[in-house]
């Protein structure tokens, strides 16, 4: 039997398309994931506010007051 030297050459790494290259970094993936979760939670919060105002017997006028308070700087 012959001694065959088997040298494994690494397969060429697949490169991500340029717009997706930042996703190769863990920190960037965490940033994007947390921003997406925050955006989702903000949307759920707005829907919850509407249902809470309705559950408390409020109508369109009360809902508009509740919705404009954060925009006016009041919390």
| Alpha-carbon gap, residue 3 to 20, rounded angstroms | 44
pLDDT of the chain along its 75 residues, tens only? 555 556 666 656 678 899 999 999 999 999 999 999 999 999 999 899 999 999 999 999 999 998 888 788 776
| Alpha-carbon gap, residue 73 to 18, rounded angstroms | 40
pLDDT value at residue 25: 93
Through-space distance between the first and last CA atoms of the chain, rounded to whole angstroms: 82
Q: Which two tokens stand for residue 30?
A: 């965490």
pLDDT value at residue 44: 95
> How does DSSP classify residue 73?
T
């Amino acid at each position: 039997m012959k001694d065959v030297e088997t040298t494994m050459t690494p397969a060429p790494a697949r490169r991500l398309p340029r717009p997706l290259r930042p996703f190769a970094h863990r920190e960037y993936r965490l940033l994007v994931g947390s921003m997406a979760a925050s955006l989702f939670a903000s949307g759920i919060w707005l829907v919850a506010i509407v249902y809470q105002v309705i559950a408390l017997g409020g109508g369109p006028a009360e809902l508009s007051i509740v919705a404009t308070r954060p925009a006016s700087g009041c919390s």
